Amino acid sequence: WLTHVKEILNCACLIAQCLEKENASVVVHGSEGMDVTLCVTSLAQIILNPDCRTVRGFEALVVREWIQAGHPIWSRTTKGPFNDSLATKSKNHAPTFTIFLDSVWQIYHQFPCSFEFTEKFLILLADHAYFSNFGTFLADCECERSILDLKNKTVSLWSYVNRPEIIENYLNPLYEPNVEIIWPSVAPVSLLLWQDMYLRWV
């Protein structure tokens, strides 16, 4: 798992370096499909853009790049560990959003004062991608969401989480706005198992 995280972070840093240090345009194409491509381009934005490290900016990134752009989060997660009835092997099942959040956590762990939110916020998103009372991660694209009328039949996770009494539980007390680019280390010794995510029930 951490090998995949390392490769994704390494690629995101390479993209960010090409954009920032070389002023080059970058075309990102994954040989295995769009999953890794989406991870690395989203992470490059977090590295380069301090707004993506705020609660609102990160939410906007997830909505823009993952939900509105049509990443099939629902198909990728419905056959996951929390859904035994559908837990058949499928080439469509992949923990892409989870590995993205894990990669964000790796950067957060190295730059804890540069993020407005805590790891609890990332865990909240991971949990709601797999099972949720909200419609945010339901369906795979805007067309499906429209057909299912999710806008009228469900409530958005964001409308809940952005309520002042809720969001205060996920705000980082150490946060200091950092307009600088943050360059995470991808050395194996720098990457850790996200224990609060994966070992919370142990």
Q: Measuring CA to CA, which residue among 198, 199, 121 is closest to residue 160?
A: 121
**For residue 136, which phi and psi values (nearest 5 degrees)?**
-55, -45
| 150 vs 5, higher pLDDT | 5
Question: pLDDT category, 32, cuts 50, 70, 90?
Answer: low
pLDDT at 92: 60
Helix, strand, or coil (residue 184): coil
Identify residue 95 by its one-letter amino acid code: P
Residue 12: burial class (beta carbons within 10 Å; 0-12, 13-18, 19+): buried
Backbone angles phi, psi at 181, to 5 degrees: -70, 140
Look at the block and give the residue holding tokens 């769009």.
34
Which range of residues forms the domain containing residue 41? 2-198
Number of domains making up the chain: 1
Instruction: Decide if 107 contacts 182 (C-beta within 8 A).
Output: yes
- 79 residue type, one letter: K
What is the mean pLDDT of the segment spanning 52-69?
94
Inter-helix orientation angle 96-110/34-48, to 10°: 20
And the tokens for 60?
Answer: 């906007």
pLDDT band at 6 (very low <50, low <70, confident <90, very high): very high
Q: Which of 121, 120, 96, 100 is nearest to 196 (CA)?
A: 120
Please check the confidence at residue 120 and state whether its pLDDT lies above 90: yes
Tallying the residues shown for the chain, one arrives at: 202
Secondary structure class of 117 (helix, strand, coil)? strand
What is the gyration radius of the CA atoms in the chain, in angstroms?
17
Q: What is the pTM of this model?
A: 0.89
